[in-house]
Amino acid sequence: MVPDGSLSRRQLLASGAGAGALLSGGALARRYLRTAAADASPDADEPSAWPMAARDPGATAYAPEADPPTDGVRVRWRCGIRSGPDPDQRPGPVVTDGIVYAVGPFGSSGVPGSPGLLAVSASDGEVLAHVRRPARTAPAVAPARAYRGRTVATLETPTFDPHRLVGFPSAGGESSDWFGGGEPRWTASVDADADSYSRTHFGGSTAPPPVAAGDTLVTYFRGTLAAVDGSSGTVRWTSDEGLPATRPAVRDGTAYVVGPEDGVRAYDLVTGDHATVRERFPESPMYLTAAPDHLFVSGQGWIRALDADGEVDWETTFEDGGESVPAGPLAVGDGTVYARRPAPSSVGGGEPEAEPTARVCALDAADGSVQWVAEAVAVASGLFLPAAADGLVAVPTADGALAGLDTADGSVLWRFDPGAEPCSPAAIVGDAVYVVGNAHLYALEEP
């Protein structure tokens, strides 16, 4: 017998009610999930961590709680790290939860081959996990709400494919997946990344590294600024136009970035709404540092300190011998700004073809007055990113070493020169300094 039955009014009503309940329940669940995400308080600043390039969301590169080596250094441990072919880029390591994460040196000229992403115990140098990925910046370690461990995010920048942020589970504990196939927890990218863009080198990378602010990762996909959920990898929002890609500086839920016309913009981390902080600077800004009292903006040979209203509190310009070097990236802490300035003209020899050499200088963060210039050390160009702590500023030098300078007067406290290949920027955590150099990751301590 062939069944036959038209819809009854009761069936229709029940179906309508069911569909309504489904949609309402879904909307309520989404609302709750989003509210919970917004209310999730960002992790307090970890005193004993350096979880991203330049240490914190504001890019201060200053570790106030650290007790770094000042009376010389010796190697506590070292372990090999895979390099890509013909490496000329060297991002610095990051440290969190007693684990050091580092990307091996790699080549910037499109040479195929991937460096290693390595996780090492900070205490004894034991390798906890490693994977070979085309990572192109220092990792950023962010909390992940749904997981027991954090997310370690690295930016991959293939030449022709869309750029992507890749999130791995933090090493150790339950998350041993790194050791297997190296499958990431998530991969984030955007449909249409801006193809008209410029980007500024930062701390040994040709692309700005991702920034972890609470459970949000702020990064650039080519010229598109994006906020990515550290747990799910969901792209929360993107900028509606291409921007010059520089390392964002995040403070109090706001990401400061260089705007499209040499100005500075502020993006709300939650909503992606933006406001203009400064319409335009006379010269292109290159680096931003968000300290509690000032937003420092620096470019080729200049620094400006903006107050909370975006007004210039002080500014300084370095002019020596006609040479010009970027003043940043800066390190800011304990009332001092550590910057880069041109060497006196006598050092460069005054010859036009001579490579500009630069020196580290310390400025008073309150008024920009020069406290000292470390004349004895020429600092690296592409690798420059100072790491500061109580009594120590560590900087890669032009001759490939890592130099420890006294924060009081800029005198050289120690030099670490591991060999043929140059040192990366450093990370200072606890009583140790971590650095990648000569195809190894080193932990340095006071003798």
Partner 1 sequence: MSDGAETKTGETDGGYPTAADARRPDGAPLTGTGLFRDGLALLRRNPSVVLAVVLAGLTVAVVDWVRLADPIPVAAFEGITTGRLTVHYGVMVSVPAGVTTTPSALAGLQPGWLVWLGALELLRTAVFVGAGVYAFATLLDAEPTPAVASRYGLVFAADGLLRAFAPSADVPLLVGIPFVALYLYVVAHLVALPALLVEGWSILDAIGRSWRLATGHGWALGGVVVLIGLATFLSASAPVGGPVLASVVAAVQVGAVAAFVRRAGGPDSATET
* Interface contacts to partner 1, rule CB under 8 A: 1-7, 11, 15, 18-19, 22-23, 25-26, 29-30, 33-34, 37, 144-149, 167, 169, 173-177, 183-186, 229, 231-234
Compute the distance between CA of residue 138 and CA of residue 155 in angstroms, rounded to an integer: 8
H or E element at residue 37: helix 9-39
Considering the complex, what minimum distance in angstroms separates the CB of residue 15 from partner 1?
Answer: 5
- Which residues are CB-contacts of 135 (< 8 A; sequence separation ≥ 6)? 103, 106, 114, 115, 117, 154, 155, 156, 166
* Amino acid sitting at position 239: S
User: The tokens of 420 are what?
Assistant: 């043929």
Q: Is 100 exposed, middle or buried (0-12, 13-18, 19+ CB in 10 A)?
A: buried
Considering the complex, what minimum distance in angstroms separates the CB of residue 267 from partner 1?
Answer: 21
Considering the complex, what minimum distance in angstroms separates the CB of residue 41 from partner 1?
Answer: 15
In the complex with partner 1, which residue's Cβ is closer, 56 or 215? 215
In the complex with partner 1, which residue's Cβ is closer, 30 or 74? 30
User: The tokens of 173 are what?
Assistant: 């504990």
Compute the distance between CA of residue 259 and CA of residue 286 in angstroms, rounded to an integer: 11
Angle subtended at Cα 141 by Cα 394 and Cα 264, rounded to the nearest 5 degrees: 75
CB 257 within 8 A of CB 276: no
Considering the complex, what minimum distance in angstroms separates the CB of residue 239 from partner 1?
Answer: 21
Considering the complex, what minimum distance in angstroms separates the CB of residue 23 from partner 1?
Answer: 6
Considering the complex, what minimum distance in angstroms separates the CB of residue 10 from partner 1?
Answer: 11
User: The tokens of 380 are what?
Assistant: 């690296």
Q: Running DSSP on this structure, what letter comes out for residue 43?
A: P
CB 92 within 8 A of CB 48: no
Considering the complex, what minimum distance in angstroms separates the CB of residue 29 from partner 1?
Answer: 5
Three-class SS of residue 115? coil
**Among candidate residues 246, 346, 254, the one with its CA nearest the CA of residue 297:** 246
Considering the complex, what minimum distance in angstroms separates the CB of residue 35 from partner 1?
Answer: 10
Longest dimension (CA), the chain: 104
In the complex with partner 1, which residue's Cβ is closer, 231 or 424? 231
**Among candidate residues 124, 78, 120, the one with its CA nearest the CA of residue 103:** 120
In the complex with partner 1, which residue's Cβ is closer, 167 or 244? 167
Residues in the chain: 447
CB 248 within 8 A of CB 288: yes
In the complex with partner 1, which residue's Cβ is closer, 166 or 243? 166
Strand partners, 106: 89
In the complex with partner 1, which residue's Cβ is closer, 25 or 85? 25
Considering the complex, what minimum distance in angstroms separates the CB of residue 14 from partner 1?
Answer: 9
User: The tokens of 300 are what?
Assistant: 């080729």
In the complex with partner 1, which residue's Cβ is closer, 50 or 186? 186
